[in-house]
Amino acid sequence: MSSAERRDDDLPDVDVREQRWPSPVWLIPLTALLIGCWLLFQTWYQKGPDIIVQFSSAEGIESGKTEVRYKAVTVGKVKKLKMSDDLKYIEANIELNKEIGRHLGSDARFWVVSPRVNRSGVSGLTTLFSGTYIGMDPGTNTDDLSFYQGEDRPPVIAPSENGKRFFLLADSLGSMDIGAPIFYKQLQVGEMIDYKLLPEQDQVRMEVFIRDPYYDFVRTNTRFWNASGAEFKMSAAGAEFRMESLTSLLIGGIAFETPKSFAAGEISNDGDEFVLYSNFAASQEKQFSQKLYYVMYFSGTVRGLAVGAPVEFQGIPVGQVENIDMRMDRESLVVRIPVLVSIQPQQFDEKISKDDAEATMRKLVEKGLRAKLDTASLLTGQKLITLSMEKDAEPAQIAATQFYSEFPTVGSALDDLPLMAIDIMASLQETLDSVKKLVGSGKLDKTVDNLNGVLAEAERAVKAAKQAIMTVDKDTLPSVNKSINQITLDLGKTLQKIQGSMVQIDRLTAQNSPTQYQLQEMLEELTAASRSVRSLTETLQRQPTSLIRGKKGD
């Protein structure tokens, strides 16, 4: 037996057994695999939608760093930036989380938040420290999209703020901009959030937002007006100054109110449209839909009359000037200036119809209604058209023409001023010529000599009168004073005698005086005597012979 064989025989036998369970070592990679699957599941479960937002510029946006925030909470991140196919825009691939993805709607909005300074204020100052981020508004529905158009500026109002949006129509934007305040009774209740030009209407449509609960004050008949700047008006009642606030003076603003002359209408709905008036006074005027158009021809100049000038009846505006033109007849070479005006017949009667209004205007013209130019301001030379009932007016009617009916007019009193001035100058020239002839004829010198003689005679007469007065003072007045004193003494004595006589009369007529007693006795005796006479008369009537024969018995 070889040594090799002996070594193999010395080795112990190997007992081979089959292991039924894996080794515990495998638990480590298995656990790692389970954790990885769980993390992948959590990532997949919490992953939100991937969307593309298109911006005009990528200034401040960085791939993998720029966050998407809603109410200052991070809800997503920019994954990648790329150019659009036409190289006009930047497309940001944004990954949102699942919570915000459930509320993402088709009307969602995205914008870049960075420091901004404009007329309405300063915004985005926090990004100086935290960096630029993308703000978002998830919208109002759940019809999500995969592509959105980013906005160039952030919204003025917070996405979660409660309120209503309204639209205002105006001829121009004026001095207002995004963020211009909205006032109600000089309280800021909202802002202008957007504006847009409507080419088909040639108007600007402004979108305004009014917060809760102030939107309940917006009624169907509410009036909005441009409150930018300040208004100063001078009238017969005095001076009036109106300004909503210092903010509106600097950056512009809009105010609204329901005129007190109107009944409050129903509360307006979100999205209703209103007209934006130019100022407060225009918003308070009654607006009527019916208009009658007339053309007027004036004999004098129309300098100072402009488009928009008022047409008034007894000081109340009833219309305005719409157009001023100039036309020439080639045959007669007569130049005429037609002035087109519009009159609101409902200013005279709110319930009048258009047909009745035309018939009424014809009757008023037949009665003496005429139009004439008047000066509105002597300082500026502005003119207006006034309608007035003229006395002894020549018969006239509203004449129908090819386009507009012609309204009869009369000349203004100011039109005759040049003629009056010419007449005055002519009269003055004649007077000066007469004076010149009088001076040249020598009659004026004779008149002056005669006047000097008269003045000398008057001077001598004054001296004589003065001498007579001095004589009267020296001679006549002392004797007159002495006579007056004597008369005063005699008059005093006479008055004393009259007073004594009155005392005697008072004594005679006093009650219980002897004279009064004697008079009373005398009256009694006269009464008795009259009775005796009456008795004698009656006896003689019955017995005429009683004086001879004596009285007989009955």
DSSP characters for 231-295?
EEEEETTEEEEE-S-HHHHHH--EEEE--TTS---PBPPTT-EEEEESSHHHHHS---S--EEEE
* Maximum C-alpha span of the chain: 248
Look at the chain and report how many structural domains it folds into.
5
Q: 187, 205, 207: which is closest to 196 by C-alpha? A: 205
- Same domain? 170 vs 252: yes
- Same domain? 512 vs 496: yes
- Same domain? 520 vs 496: yes
- Same domain? 111 vs 187: no
Over residues 153-168, the mean pLDDT reads 79
Give the range with max mean pLDDT: 126-135, 344-353, 357-366, 377-386: 357-366
Q: Quickly state the pLDDT bin for 331 (edges 50, 70, 90).
A: confident
- Reading across the β-sheet that carries 109-113, which strands appear in turn? 109-113, 133-137, 67-70, 73-83, 90-97, 47-55, 147-149
- Same domain? 101 vs 175: no
- Same domain? 170 vs 278: yes
352 is a domain residue: yes
Of 29-38, 216-225, 285-294, 298-307, minimum mean pLDDT range = 285-294
Q: Is the pLDDT of residue 270 over 70?
A: yes
Q: Quickly state the pLDDT bin for 224 (edges 50, 70, 90).
A: very high
- Same domain? 139 vs 180: no
pLDDT, one tens digit per residue, over 365-385 is 988 899 988 888 777 778 899
- Same domain? 128 vs 138: yes
20 is a domain residue: no
Q: What percent of the chain has pLDDT over 70?
A: 67
Choose the final residue of a domain: 387, 410, 433: 410
- Same domain? 127 vs 170: no
- Same domain? 57 vs 130: yes
233 is a domain residue: yes
Of 204-213, 245-254, 342-351, minimum mean pLDDT range = 245-254
Range of the domain at 87: 42-149
Over residues 459-488, the mean pLDDT reads 68
Tell me what pLDDT residue 534 has.
73
Of 63-67, 227-231, 275-279, minimum mean pLDDT range = 227-231
Query: Alpha-carbon distance 198 to 205, whole Å?
Result: 7
Q: Quickly state the pLDDT bin for 168 (edges 50, 70, 90).
A: very high
Q: Is the pLDDT of residue 411 over 70?
A: yes
β-pair type (238-242, 203-211): unpaired
According to DSSP, residue 403 is labeled: S
Tell me what pLDDT residue 274 has.
92
Over residues 387-405, the mean pLDDT reads 85
Q: Quickly state the pLDDT bin for 237 (edges 50, 70, 90).
A: very low
More confident residue, 196 or 265: 196
